[in-house]
Amino acid sequence: MTSARELFSLPAGPADLCFDKNEFMKKTFSVDEFLHENRKAGSLEIIRDDLGVYLKVLRSAMIELINQDYADFVDLSANLIGLDRKISGIETPLGKLKDEILAVKEALEGTMRDISDCLEQKKALRGHKKSLQSLGKVQGALVKLESLLKPVEGKEKDVNPTLLERAALESIQLQFNIKFCREFLNDEQQKQSEQMKDSLLDQLKTYFLRTLEQKDVEGLERCLRIYCTLDECRTAEDVFRGEIVSPYMSRAVSESSLQNSPQGLTGIYNQILDFISLHMKNLLTLTKKNGKVKGYNFIVNSFWTEVERRMETNMSSIFAPGNPEAFYQKYKCTLEFLERIEQIIEDSTEIAAFKAHSQYKSFQVRWNLPVYFQIRFQEIGSNLEKACSRELEASKFVEQQISASQFNLVQFSIALTCISNCWQEGIYLPQLFHRFFKLTLQLLSRTTSWVDTAITYNFPVSADSQMPSLKLKLLATLFADINNLSKKIPQIITLVVDKAPQSLALTPPQLDEVFFDNRSTLTTKLNRLQTLIVQELVQASIPHIKQVSDIPRLYRKTNRDVPSKCCQYMELLVQPSREFRVRYQAMVGDERLKEFLANVFTCLTLNYYQAVDEVLTSVQKTEESLRRLKNLRDRNANSATTAPTMTTSTDRTTMSDDDKIRLQLQVDVIHYVQEIESIGLARGEIEKLDELMQLVEEATKIRIGSRM
């Protein structure tokens, strides 16, 4: 309902008011808030004056409203005259009517209570009557059952299946009626009822065993239906287990049978499975999914429960994981045994029930797979750990020939063998896939971590004379083996995918992501080894660059011939790189070799450029000093009128010592550039090489290209 405040509208006031008149109609109107918001519009005096003006407007509007509705006010007051007297006149009859209604209500409630009590009594009487009727039926059923189950004199062992069927129906009626008269039964009747049921089950058991022994399919079907009618399917399964399965398994499943069996555990399992074909063929035909009788599961509830119990108690030695090879064979044999049982069951629902059975789970737990894996882990892991703990022998290492296609260090060979062993037949079990996969990653990680130890390995003092070559060979060997190991990872991934359980549905791309860290680590190791190899080659070559400073002493004041071949230091400078290329090109590969040598020659060129520049600068300074000294001597030798001595043609054609020095540097640089280009590197790939060529060209005024 709309409130009066929402329907009422305030009269309009003067337009120059300092406040909005609609603020007075807000439900949250507050004087303090009103003054705070309107204080900016004017002072308190202005607000007071405007409020006074609007108050007058409201009073005028109120008077006008009263004048408009005055006639309605007068009529309302006239209609209210005598209203009290009229109300008093109807009050007495209404009170009397109320009392009469309450009296009728109480009478109705009393009658309803009486009727309800009568109905409850009638219901109780009906219950007693039904119980008495059921009691009579119980007594009659007991008498009838006794006559049906009483064996014929002289034929106690004969069982009439027809009488058993009738007795089963009577037993069902008996149990049904007992539910309605249990409180009226005496002890003798209850005892007699239990005896009749036991007698019926005993005779049914006799008939059941007889049909099994005689392989009477029709009789067996009839017997199973009687059990099903009595809702005693589990009783039939227990009878079969106790009378048929248990005696057979007590002979077949034992430690002595295991020791005497020529085929070992496989022979025991074959004997167990033979029991199904010998004693359970008709049962399974009748009770399988498409069979004639439903509600039975003899494989699980009779056969398997007894077999599993006997194996746990009489053949517990098969579960011992101390001998991993024997444990593996026994476990694989057991898995095949369980698969053959599942093939016999056929129905997927029953197979699921078989696997969900408590004794099936208990049987699986008895196989201590974690202990088996721990033993395998120690065997496999210890082999690699022993290999990684070996020291590199310098004598054997010198004789070793590096191979590009196979592992050169035994640690890598053992690592790959250990990884292969993880998935080898006779070791790997699909149930331990996650553990063996983790072990594979750990083996790769341990191998890559050993590389750090090998890189920092120091050969013994006796090998100091061969230390540089040994160190370089070690680094090259590590590089080759890591590169080979990196190439083996796709094969490892394929092996893991092939061995993975089908339920995981693993694909190579998924595993490739898992191996990403191993690939990245191997790539990091390769890059580090490349850097160390470059450092070794540079350290072997860079000392010979110092001999560049000896070139001026070779030609100054020695009257040597004009240089036509490079100095010996140049051969020594490029020899380590040349030998590395010859020895390790096939192993490293052309692309990687170019990267190695490009880095080596870049570092050497930077130092070579600096040495050549220093020599040329020194030669130029020496030449200028000699020229100034000669000019000074010429001015002091003769008078100014004497003509200068002309240089002979022989003097002009003779090359100075400084020119020989410059030319020798140019010849050396030419040989250096030729060596770089002979390995397939372009001049632009080597930093400072163009500047080095330009430096000697400008010094000799002869272009290297024309000589090369």
Burial tier of 497 (Cβ tally within 10 Å: 0-12, 13-18, 19+): middle
Of the pLDDT bands very low, low, confident and very high (cuts 50, 70, 90), residue 1 is: very low
Note whether 552 and 696 are same-domain residues. yes
Instruction: Tell me, yes or no, whether 256 lies in a domain.
Output: no
pLDDT (tens digit, 9 = 90+) per residue, 79-90? 777 777 777 778
Residue 117 placed within a domain: no
pLDDT digits (tens, 9 = 90+) for 511-545: 888 888 888 888 899 899 989 989 989 998 888 88
Distance CA 298, CA 175 (A): 27
Residue 303 pLDDT: 92
pLDDT of residue 649: 34
Residues 455, 399 within the same domain: yes
Task: Say whether both 554 and 671 belong to one domain.
Answer: yes
Structure tokens at 185: 């039964």
pLDDT value for 640: 44
Q: Cα–Cα distance between 699 and 622 in angstroms, integer?
A: 14
Does 569 reside within a domain?
yes
Average pLDDT over residues 348-355: 86
Structural domain for 556, as ranges:
544-623+657-702
Domain final position from 506, 530, 559: 506
Q: Which of 506, 535, 567 is the last residue of a domain?
A: 506
Q: Please check the confidence at residue 683 and state whether its pLDDT lies above 90.
A: no
Query: Do residue 469 and residue 595 come from a single domain?
Result: no
Instruction: Identify which of 584, 581, 563 has the alpha carbon closest to the alpha carbon of residue 655.
Output: 563
Judge if 575 and 689 occupy the same domain: yes
Cα separation, 504 vs 30, whole angstroms: 72
Q: Based on the structure, what is the number of domains in the chain?
A: 3
Q: Is residue 61 part of a domain?
A: yes
Indicate if 499 and 569 belong to the same structural domain.
no
| pLDDT value for 419 | 93
Closest CA to 285 of 354, 206, 218, 357: 218
Question: Is a pLDDT exceeding 50 seen at residue 74?
Answer: yes
Give domain status of residue 667, yes or no: yes
Give the span between the Cα atoms of 487 and 481, in whole angstroms.
10
119 in a structural domain: no
pLDDT at 462 over 60: no
Percentage of the chain beyond pLDDT 70 is 86
**Same domain, yes or no, for 473 and 567?**
no
Answer whether residue 48 is part of any domain.
yes
Q: Which of 62, 80, 98 is the last residue of a domain?
A: 80
* pLDDT at 144 exceeding the cut of 80: no
Same domain assignment for residues 450 and 597: no
Cβ 449 vs Cβ 415: under 8 Å: no
Cβ neighbors of 619 (< 8 A, separation 6 or more) are: 552, 658, 661, 662
Is 502 in the same domain as 553? no
Give pTM, 2 decimals. 0.68
Q: Are residues 479 and 602 in the same domain?
A: no
Element (H, E) at 349: helix 348-356
Quote the pLDDT of residue 20: 74
464 in any annotated domain: yes
Q: Which of 9-23, 59-73, 666-680 has the highest mean pLDDT?
A: 666-680
Closest to 619 in 3D by CA, of 678, 684, 525, 695:
695
Are both 553 and 496 inside the same structural domain?
Answer: no
- pLDDT tens for 586-645 read 878 888 888 889 999 999 999 988 988 888 888 888 878 878 887 777 777 654 434 443
Q: Are residues 612 and 690 in the same domain?
A: yes
Q: Of 225, 211, 208, 210, which is closest to residue 168 (Cα–Cα)?
A: 225
The residue ranking higher by pLDDT, 375 or 51, is 375
Report which listed range, 69-73, 227-231, 305-309, is most confident. Answer: 305-309
Cα separation, 432 vs 435, whole angstroms: 5
